[in-house]
Amino acid sequence: MTIAMDEILQTIRMVQMENLDIRTVTMGISLRDCADSDFNKMKQRVFDKITTYAKDLKQVAEETEKEYGVPIINKRISITPIAEILGNATVEQTVELAKTLDQAAKQLGVDFIGGFSALVHKGFSKGDETLLQALPEALSVTDRVCASVSVATTRTGINMDAVKQLGFIIKEAAERTKDSNGLACAKLVVFCNPVEDNPFMAGAFHGAGEGEAVINVGVSGPGVVLNALKKHPNVDLGEVSDIIKKTAFKITRAGELIGRVVAKRLGIPFGIMDLSLAPTNALNDSVAEILEEIGLERVGTHGTIAALALMNDAVKKGGAMASSYVGGLSGAFIPVSEDNGMIRGIMDGALSLSKLEAMTCVCSVGLDMIALTGDVSPATLSAIIADEAAIGMINKKTTAVRVIPVPGKQEGDMVEFGGLLGRAPVMGVNPFSSQKMINRGGRIPAPLQALIN
């Protein structure tokens, strides 16, 4: 991969002035050969394999960011969904395994380890049931372990029994970590149509179709896109798309270079570039502000979905041209707590939970890092998940829910989560009940789109 001098100079400017960074270099590791009927042997194999493969990840990433001058914000690990290797492990042993994963992450100095996960979109294996029961405690007693649960796909429909259970799981996880505003819930994502090579947390896991180990990269560049648009305040929307497309190309080129260097130095194959725009709480590093620069007085007003669709499409077109292998989620994230423009939209009354849900039809993921009132019921949480899963299922795209019912907080309160997770205004929910629907259980059948053979 040859990089021209002017590209290097442009990258330096993007880093220094426009908040360009590599959001994550994530090493995926297969743990399928770690399964063992003896739990203690299995746990030791998991620890040994992770700490062997990733022993140099942090050091190599740090050396590479210094050499090339591009910050790598997070070094992460994704693993085989843990439910797939649990066998006959008990809930208590599964929590112990979560602590082992946390210990491995801390020993390696990585920021997060994802894959404490279960894929239950069509039904539950014994390991799936055990993992779901263990989730609230496992997430509350660990710091760096992230979890995800797949409850729906376009090919299978929605497992409403799992959706119902997750309402209670999210509620209990929040209560167990009420001293930190329900922080355990920030490490749990509920998916429809999850991908196997996602480098972003909390939803990353190393899928069954992946190799033994791989390096996946996620870039972050809302500030770069925003700055490019500010230089052209009066162009038409076709030209806006072109500007975003060209800017995404530059961002992705920088990310692919860094990812390939890290992979080569670690002796592990380079996997994919995730083309997502991931915001932070830094000044002007906001997806919402890009939408406002396109022409919205405040994100959430009429036209928001059209602007988001334009931006998401342009990011994909530009990024795809710059990378040999595109994967992950690829598009635009709209996490409320991590985006100052989203926060401002809610506080000004322009952005509601319903509008955020509608926006997920055209963006990468879904309802992300949204603080809800502490008194929200498990049934309402389940209904929110069901709605989002239905959007993903019908539209054949990945959607997800990462919501945090903050114990003791009311609508309008502001809560702090810290670090990249930021802060969020607490949002209210519709007061009318969905209890009867959720209690029906069963499966929502796959849509006609599933019959594509």
CATH code where residue 367 lies? 3.20.70.20
The pLDDT value given to residue 155: 94
Give tens-digit pLDDT for 207-257. Answer: 999 999 999 998 877 888 898 899 999 999 999 999 999 888 888 888 888
Query: What is each CA distance from 106 to 70, 124, 217, 425, in whole angstroms?
Result: 24, 31, 21, 31
Q: Indicate whether 220 and 187 sit together in one domain.
A: no
Q: Indicate whether 172 and 250 sit together in one domain.
A: no
The token pair at 99 is 């602590």
110 part of a folded domain: yes
Q: Indicate whether 303 and 177 sit together in one domain.
A: no
Q: Indicate whether 248 and 390 sit together in one domain.
A: yes
20 part of a folded domain: no
3-class SS at 209? coil
The residue ranking higher by pLDDT, 451 or 146, is 146
5 part of a folded domain: no
The pLDDT value given to residue 18: 47
Task: Identify the CA nearest to 76 among candidates 182, 2, 1, 187.
Answer: 187
Q: Indicate whether 66 and 183 sit together in one domain.
A: yes
Of 192, 208, 232, the position where a domain reaches its end is 192
State how many domains the chain has: 2
Question: Taking 70 as the threshold, does the pLDDT of residue 17 lie above it?
Answer: no
CA angle 202, 198, 264 (to 5 degrees): 120
12 part of a folded domain: no
Question: Taking 70 as the threshold, does the pLDDT of residue 320 lie above it?
Answer: yes
Q: Indicate whether 121 and 244 sit together in one domain.
A: no
If you average pLDDT over residues 389-417, what whole number do you get?
94
Of 133, 160, 192, the position where a domain reaches its end is 192
The pLDDT value given to residue 221: 78
Give me the residues paired with residue 371 across strands.
404
The pLDDT value given to residue 174: 96
If you average pLDDT over residues 86-92, what whole number do you get?
94
Give tens-digit pLDDT for 324-369. Answer: 888 888 878 888 998 899 999 999 999 999 999 999 999 878 899 9
The pLDDT value given to residue 181: 92
pTM score, whole prediction: 0.92
23 part of a folded domain: no
What's the rounded Cα separation, in Å, for the pair 133 and 139?
11
Domain holding 178, by residue range, is 28-192
6 part of a folded domain: no
Mean per-residue pLDDT over the chain, rounded: 91
Task: Identify the CA nearest to 329 among candidates 149, 204, 241.
Answer: 204
62 part of a folded domain: yes
Q: Indicate whether 152 and 253 sit together in one domain.
A: no
Lowest mean pLDDT across 290-299, 307-316, 360-369, 376-385: 360-369
Q: Indicate whether 138 and 51 sit together in one domain.
A: yes
Angle between helices 237-266 and 304-322 (to 10 degrees): 40
Q: Indicate whether 148 and 257 sit together in one domain.
A: no
Confidence band of 5 (pLDDT split at 50, 70, 90): very low
Compute CA 275 distance to the chain's CA centroid, rounded to the nearest angstrom: 13
What's the rounded Cα separation, in Å, for the pair 225 and 22?
15
Q: Indicate whether 261 and 409 sit together in one domain.
A: yes
The pLDDT value given to residue 6: 55
Question: Taking 50 as the threshold, does the pLDDT of residue 176 lie above it?
Answer: yes
Of 157, 192, 227, the position where a domain reaches its end is 192
Kindly write down the DSSP assignment for every residue of 229-280, as one continuous string. HHT-TT--HHHHHHHHHHHHHHHHHHHHHHHHHHHHHHT--EEEEE--B---
The token pair at 166 is 């997750």
9 part of a folded domain: no
Sequence-distant contacts of 262-266: CB under 8 A, at least 24 apart:
262/25, 262/60, 262/61, 262/64, 262/215, 262/217, 263/215, 265/56, 265/60, 265/63, 265/64, 266/27, 266/56, 266/57, 266/60, 266/215
Q: Indicate whether 395 and 252 sit together in one domain.
A: yes
Task: Identify the CA nearest to 146 among candidates 225, 82, 70, 67.
Answer: 82
Lowest mean pLDDT across 8-17, 103-112, 116-125, 149-158: 8-17
Which residue type sits at 39?
F
Q: Indicate whether 175 and 245 sit together in one domain.
A: no
The token pair at 444 is 């929502």
Task: Identify the CA nearest to 189 among candidates 338, 407, 335, 28.
Answer: 335
